[in-house]
Structure formats: C-alpha cells, structure tokens
C-alpha cells in the first residue's frame, strides 16, 4: 500500500518543494492572457482549470491548459526520478507528484485559491503508473462522452483510480490515489451539489 521510504529526508523535502513550485504555476491564467482572452478570474466560475478556460470559447486555449496542467504533474514525477538517480526512489517521485497536485490546488501566488486538480492528477498518474493513468483517462473520456459533464467525468476518474491501482498491480500507489481522489471530491463539493440538484452545466456551456 505504501512505497518503500528510501530517500533521505532532506532530499524528500527538496523534491516536495520543487513539485509544489511546478504545480503552483497557474497555466490557465497564463494561457488565457497569452491568447488575449482576458482575466480568467473574471470568466465563468473564476476557476483556473481547463473547464473554465473552455468557457472563453477558445478550444485551443483549453487544450493548451489541459496539456500544461497535466504536464506539470508528470514533469514533477519524472524529474524526481531522473535527477535524483540512485539517491531517491519512488517515495520521492510520489511526493513530488503529490506536492505538484497540492501546488495546483493551493498556489501560494494566488492566495492558495487554485484549480480542482484533475488535469494535474491525470498527468502525475500517467508518470507514476502509466497503465493506471491511461485507465483513468479512458474513464474520464467515457463518462464525458456519455454524460457531457466535466465534473462527473473527473469525479468518476478520480474515484476509480485506487481500484485501477489494485486491478493493474500498482498497490504502492493506492494510498496516494485515495488521497488525491479525496481532495478532488472535496474540491468538487459545489459541483456534487449541482449534480444532485440536476443543475450542473454540460461541457462547453457557459
């Protein structure tokens, strides 16, 4: 259920800090400004994630945000693996991924008011355990096509992650997957309320 702790504490702290800094880059806001789409905080829900960027009407900006937000989670994991070498193991990679996720949800630069973490979650899962990451992405896609609700697709993918870890033989990642799913559920509490009330907007709906 847990990765073997084999990395020295100072290095764990270093990779955790680097993961957080990577994750805290608000690519949604950067992309919308670069595309000349205005201040993302004043658009739609004000969230900095892909779904709200899509509300600007620019699919290209939304796609760029999805790739960049997912990429920062993956890069945090891969950097911890590649640069730490023999001095660090999967514990450092998992911590870097976790803190990248935390950085996206709670970026210090934005008063700890960030996104909901779905793209970053998918990116870090692809880097940590690619079969699990692919399964989560396919779960998201299937639900998005079936119900046309980004929030429901995200919740389904997040909740399925621990099960995919178990089925596909990635038990050391299960606890991390449970923690990430719990945060995603909490960050989507307003969406869950709207889903229950039948008022949750469809993908692309403003």
2 assigned to some structural domain? no
Residue 45: band (very low, low, confident or very high) from pLDDT cuts 50, 70, 90: confident
Give Cα 93 to chain centroid, integer Å. Answer: 15
87 assigned to some structural domain? yes
Residue 157: band (very low, low, confident or very high) from pLDDT cuts 50, 70, 90: very high
- What are the backbone dihedrals phi and psi of residue 170, each rounded to the nearest 5 degrees, phi first? -115, 55
Other CB atoms within 10 Å distance of the CB of residue 11? 16
Instruction: Give the Cα separation of 12 and 16 in Å (integer).
Output: 6
pLDDT in tens, 163-177: 999 999 999 999 999
pLDDT in tens, 79-110: 988 876 544 568 889 999 999 999 999 999 99
Residue 66 has pLDDT above 80, yes or no: yes
Instruction: Give the Cα separation of 117 and 191 in Å (integer).
Output: 14
Report the share of the chain in percent with pLDDT over 70: 92
Q: Is 175 exposed, middle or buried (0-12, 13-18, 19+ CB in 10 A)?
A: middle
- Note whether 80 and 96 are within 8 A (CB): yes
Residue 206: band (very low, low, confident or very high) from pLDDT cuts 50, 70, 90: low
Tracing tokens 């950097």 back to the chain, one arrives at: 79
Q: Give the count of domains, the chain.
A: 1
H helix intervals, the chain: 9-23, 27-34, 50-54, 59-84, 90-105, 118-128, 130-147, 150-167, 174-187, 189-197
Among residues 49, 15, 8, the alpha carbon closest in space to that of 31 is found at 49
* pLDDT for 55: 87
Domain of residue 106 covers 9-197
Residue 129 has pLDDT above 50, yes or no: yes
81 assigned to some structural domain? yes
35 assigned to some structural domain? yes
């Amino acid at each position: 259920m847990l990765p073997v702790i084999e990395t020295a504490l100072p290095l764990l702290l270093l990779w955790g800090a680097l993961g957080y800094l990577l994750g805290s880059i608000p690519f949604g806001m950067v992309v919308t400004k670069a595309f000349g789409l205005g201040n993302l905080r004043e658009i739609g829900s004000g969230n900095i994630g892909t779904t709200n960027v899509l509300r600007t009407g620019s699919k290209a900006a939304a796609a760029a945000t999805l790739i960049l937000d997912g990429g920062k989670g993956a890069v945090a994991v891969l950097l911890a693996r590649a640069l730490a070498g023999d001095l660090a193991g999967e514990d450092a990679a998992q911590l870097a991924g976790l803190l990248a996720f935390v950085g996206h949800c709670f970026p210090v630069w934005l008063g700890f008011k960030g996104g909901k973490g779905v793209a970053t979650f998918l990116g870090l899962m692809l880097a940590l355990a690619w079969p699990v990451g692919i399964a989560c992405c396919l779960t998201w896609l299937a639900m998005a096509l079936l119900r046309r609700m980004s929030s429901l697709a995200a919740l389904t993918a997040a909740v399925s992650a621990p099960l995919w870890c178990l089925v596909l033989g990635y038990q050391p990642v299960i606890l991390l997957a449970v923690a990430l799913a719990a945060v995603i559920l909490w960050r989507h509490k307003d969406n869950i309320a709207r889903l229950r009330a039948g008022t949750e907007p469809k993908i692309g709906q403003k």
